[in-house]
Each structure stands twice: as C-alpha cells, then as structure tokens.
A = this chain, B = another copy of it.
Amino acid sequence: MNKHAKSVLPEGAKARQVYLSLRDQISDGRFQDGQTLPGEQKLSEVFGVSRVTVRRALDALAASGLIIRRAGSGTTVSTAGQLDKPVAMNLATLMPQLVEMGQSTTARLLSFSYDAAPDFVSSALGLPNDEQVQIATRVRSTNHTPFSHLTTYVPAEIARNYSENDLATTPLFKLLERGGVQIKDAHQSVSATLAGPEVADALEVAVGSALLSLRRVVKDVDGNGVEYLAGLYRPDMFRLEMPLTRVGDGNARHWEPAIGKTHEEGA
C-alpha cells in the first residue's frame, strides 16, 4: 500500500506542468478512479504540447502508480488505496482532528532560534520594531507522511515558559495556555502558494506543488500578540472543513458556522 510513491517528476518545464495538472485533477476528483483518460493525442491538443511531452508526464504518473496504461486500451485512473482521506482541521480546536483524537502524529523540529521579529510579524502582533521572538519551524506527520510545515513566531518572554523539546511533542497552543497566557482572539487568513525547494523537501512533495497557506495571529485578553503562525499544508493530506448553518430571517439572514456538530461527509 505504497501510498505516496516517490514523485519522479519530469525534468522539463512543460512536461512537469502537464504532470502536475493531471495529478491534481486526479487527486481532487475531476478524474475519478477507474475513469479512462483522454488519449495522448487528445491530451497533447488540450495542453498545447507535443505527444512526447504528454508521454513524459504520463510516465511520471504511471511511476507514481496514479494511472495504469494499457496499449490499445487506454490509460485509466487508479487511485485505489493511493489517496488518504485528508486530515481535516477542526475549527473548534484549530488543530488537526487527528491530533485531538489522539492518533499518532509526530512533529519534527527543523529549526529553532531567537531573533528579531520580521516586520510582518511585529506589525501583525503589535510588537516593538526590534522585539526578540522565538522562531521555530516544525513539520507534522501522520503515518510517516508529512502534512504540515509550520513556522511560529512567539515573543521571547512568553516563549521562555516552555522548552525547545516541548515544541516537538506538544501543540504550541497548549504550551501557551499552560504558561499562563490568556488567549482571546485569533485571526486566520487562508490562501494558496507554490512549494519551494526547502518546504517541498520537508513535506515530501514536488517543487512547484500547490500548498494551502494559513496565517494565524493570536492575541491575548489584553490585545497583545502572542503567536504568529505561518503554516503550509499538503492539499492531498489536509483540508479546512467548515460546516455552516443558515440562520436569521429576511435581511438578517446569514450564515453561521455550525461548531459542535459532527457533520460527516463522504468518508
């Protein structure tokens, strides 16, 4: 059950783009399991590249086990046992559900230092310009597959309440509250970005893969910033789930997140 076979991505620029595009369409369901892909000739027309280039992309997909090619028959999608159900983040805990369910996740500390806060951190947290912050980068994995790359910035004074070793075992969240920080507000901003070499290596994905990007600013009851999180998540391993309910009447009708509910979607 070699889930995430090593990604042997094509060297060429166009071939890699075709590969990434097809892989993406497979992983998010636009091409479903068992479905027959368009022929190589057809694909070369759609992507505007030669058939040789398409073949290089398909070679990589076949090497990853995502497709099965049969001469004369065609190329079919084969994602059986390949795709994990993604880890979902629980809005109530701001932690991956696996973590709160006590399932095995491991965190690896990639870097750890105290340094002056970057501008975007100090401005977001409301810190003095040259405030010292603890900068830590961690990678979280489940089943030996990394799914998140987290860089946290915490004011040095607060960060002294826990050790470097704590970071590798306990979510930063609990460390802060354990240290007496009274957390009040958070603001999350979700976007997307491409995987650079270092992050790609840490998350075991191809350079240029799409990643979910999450920025989180956490403040305490006094309005002081206590944590800045820059997180990158593998889209095939992680999703942000948001159950919502329609409430109110007339013009006041609006959406509200349904927090407590265990809204089960297709497993």
Interface, chain A (partner B; CB < 8 A): 11-13, 16-17, 20-21, 23-25, 27-29, 32-33, 46-48, 79, 83, 85-86, 91-94, 118-121, 123-124, 135, 151, 153, 183-199, 207-213, 217, 230, 233, 235, 238-246, 254-260, 263, 265-266
A230 to B188, CA, bound (A): 22
Given A185-B243, A217-B265, A23 and B210 contact (CB-CB distance below 8 Å): no
Given A24-B194, A190-B242, A257 and B91 contact (CB-CB distance below 8 Å): yes
> Quick check: B211 and A210 within 8 Å, CB to CB?
yes
Query: How many copies altogether?
Result: 2
> Quick check: A25 and B196 within 8 Å, CB to CB?
yes
Q: Which residue of B lies closest to A94 (CB)?
A: B255
- CB contacts (< 8 Å) of A16 on chain B: these are 13, 207-208
The 4 closest A-B pairs by CB, nearest first: A29-B118, A24-B196, A192-B192, A190-B240
- CB contacts (< 8 Å) of A211 on chain B: these are 192, 210
> Quick check: A185 and B12 within 8 Å, CB to CB?
no
